Chains A and B, each alone.
Chain A
Amino acid sequence: MANNIFRKRAFICMLTLLAPVSVLFGAVKDMVKIPGGQYTPFFSDVPGKSTAIKPFYLDIKAVTNAEFLLFVKANPRWAKSKVSIIFADNSYLKHWKGDFPNEDNFSKIKDGPVTNISWYAATAYARWKGKRLPTLNEWEYVGNIAASNDTRPIEKIILEWYSKPTPAVLPPVGSTFKNKFNVYDMHGLIWEWVSDFNSIIMTGDSRSNSAINRDLFCASGALGAVDKENYAAFMRFAFRSSLQGKYTVSNLGFRCASDIRN
């Protein structure tokens, strides 16, 4: 009997010792390693030229309301009533009842992707997790990977989703297709923030920013090259370029990435 207790204690002791090790691998939990590869940016100085993407980790699913609530509880300055007006507009977390919604009014949405959050809030969450947001190129690279559990071509999945209105209550994360990198919901659930969304330079006054606007669809070869897939990408790029960091949108959420440290 005493021996048994001793064993139990030893086991607990071992668990305690191992805890820091699991923290070390924390960045990898619920993430998947994305292999490196080539990605051809939708807009580029040299159209058609590809960019190398280094291997990185990406969250398998988007961040949920329940996960974001933990972040807000730990960092109350990101609560609805406290967030600074420079970091989020006034529809921030508008689908939440109060700063810290309780079980009763949260159960419907807790497993759904968190939306109505600004770029600053998404970035703060990622930092809190020891992660970062994926870059635009990383996101697009993974977004172009074919589905593994859906026979439709990716562009068909995307366009069918774009043509549907956003449901009042978003379905849970992981409810749409999985791609060949084992990442869920790259399309079909929400739009997602990327770390450098403001690197798309296609707005502004063409008279004052003419040197920049050569990247624009009206001037460059993008229109000529439009196929269905590019049309879908164009929608994403146009949407991103219309954003500001403090904007919150009811179907815009995020997932985190992290570097691979050797």
Chain B
Amino acid sequence: MKKIAIYFFFAVLIFQSACLLTGCESSIKQEQKKAADISEEPLGSASLYQTKGKWDNQYGDTISLSKLAGKIPIISMVFTRCTFSCPRIVADLQAIEQAIPVDKKDKVVFVLVSFDSDRDHTAELKAFTKQMNLNKSWMVLHGNDDDVRELSMLLNVKYKKQENGDFTHSSGLTLLDTKGAIAIQVDGLGKDPKDIIDKINILQN
């Protein structure tokens, strides 16, 4: 019995010293490395993909924005019952879609995020997709009030819910790079797609 205890003691000792020499040392190094380049998060600290929101798309999938990493998203905020500016936002995006160079076609994703957390669930998003004739490179998203508000801040979109459930909102679009950082923002409707296209062309893959 005593012998077993001694063996055990030695085993622990050996394990500890092994840890000191190898494993723990490397974890200490890692800690130091972390402390040194603290601002460098995996995606770059300017990435919108740090946000934790969950979004439902028109196909009923739940995603986080980081799923768009590697793509070139163009994001706008709308609501499906909107009769004035939102169809024009979609038209602006479709004009951009037409002008995208062939080699970037697979990279660019069009993302419409709804202000209307109460009413724009998957069924409405699906109907909107059909009505607006949006193809597979479009994503229409629903999120909760808090996540929508946070995203609106990040995209510099202003909005206010009206008593009838509709929204007053500013119109614009945001182009993200492949890591999710804002590459360019365009305010207002009916702008020449050229600025966006130029930017898409110089974005690194």
Report the nearest A residue to B181, measured CB to CB: A86
Kindly specify which of A7-15, A62-70, A195-203, A251-259 makes contact with the partner chain: A195-203
Other-chain contact of B171, A84, A203, A209, A244 (Cβ < 8 Å): A209
- Beyond contacts A196-B149, A207-B188: 7 other A-B pairs, Cβ-Cβ < 8 A, are A200-B160, A201-B168, A203-B158, A209-B170, A211-B85, A212-B168, A244-B153
Contact: B154 with A201, CB < 8 Å? no
A44: min CB distance to chain B, Å: 9
- Taken residue by residue from 230 to 262, chain A's Cβ proximity to chain B (1 for < 8 Å, 0 otherwise) reads as 000000000001001110000000000000000
26 contacts between A and B (CB under 8 A): A45-B168, A82-B38, A82-B39, A84-B46, A85-B39, A86-B45, A86-B46, A86-B48, A86-B50, A86-B154, A119-B153, A198-B159, A199-B160, A200-B158, A200-B160, A201-B170, A204-B158, A204-B170, A204-B188, A207-B188, A208-B187, A208-B188, A208-B189, A212-B168, A215-B168, A245-B153
For the complex, would chain A's binding face be called helix, strand, loop or mixed by DSSP majority?
Answer: loop
Contact: A212 with B169, CB < 8 Å? yes
The reply to whether the CB of A30 lies closer than 8 angstroms to some CB of chain B is: no
B166: min CB distance to chain A, Å: 10
* 3 nearest A-B pairs in the assembled complex, by CB-CB distance: A208-B188, A245-B153, A199-B160
Chain A residues, Cβ within 8 Å of B50: 84, 86-87
The reply to whether the CB of B152 lies closer than 8 angstroms to some CB of chain A is: yes
Contact: A201 with B46, CB < 8 Å? no
- Taken residue by residue from 105 to 148, chain A's Cβ proximity to chain B (1 for < 8 Å, 0 otherwise) reads as 00000000000000110010000000000000000000000000
Contact: A85 with B170, CB < 8 Å? no
B159: min CB distance to chain A, Å: 6
Q: How many residues of chain B get a CB closer than 8 Å to chain A's CBs?
A: 31
- Taken residue by residue from 148 to 177, chain B's Cβ proximity to chain A (1 for < 8 Å, 0 otherwise) reads as 011011101111111100001111000000
Contact: B162 with A45, CB < 8 Å? yes
Other-chain contact of A86, B47, B149, B188 (Cβ < 8 Å): B47
Q: How many residues of chain A get a CB closer than 8 Å to chain B's CBs?
A: 30
The reply to whether the CB of B41 lies closer than 8 angstroms to some CB of chain A is: yes
Report the nearest B residue to A201, measured CB to CB: B158
Query: Which A residues are closer than 8 A to B by beta carbons?
Result: 45, 51, 81-82, 84-87, 119-120, 123, 195-196, 198-201, 203-205, 207-209, 211-212, 215, 241, 244-246
Chain A residues, Cβ within 8 Å of B7: none
Other-chain contact of B41, A81, A84, A201, A207 (Cβ < 8 Å): A84
B176: min CB distance to chain A, Å: 12
Chain A residues, Cβ within 8 Å of B159: 198-199, 201
Report the nearest B residue to A119, measured CB to CB: B153
Report the nearest B residue to A199, measured CB to CB: B160
Contact: B45 with A212, CB < 8 Å? no
Q: Given A86-B48, A204-B187, A244-B156, are A212 and B170 neighbors across the interface (CB < 8 Å)?
A: yes
Contact: B84 with A211, CB < 8 Å? yes
Chain B residues, Cβ within 8 Å of A199: 158-161
Contact: A120 with B149, CB < 8 Å? no
Other-chain contact of A198, B45, B46, B158 (Cβ < 8 Å): B158
Chain A residues, Cβ within 8 Å of B152: 198
Within 8 A of A (CB), among B39-81: 39, 41, 45-48, 50
Report the separation of the CA atoms of residues A51 and B162 in the bound assembly, to the nearest whole angstrom.
Answer: 11
Report the separation of the CA atoms of residues A244 and B157 in the bound assembly, to the nearest whole angstrom.
Answer: 10
Report the nearest B residue to A136, measured CB to CB: B160
A203: min CB distance to chain B, Å: 8
Report the separation of the CA atoms of residues A45 and B190 in the bound assembly, to the nearest whole angstrom.
Answer: 25
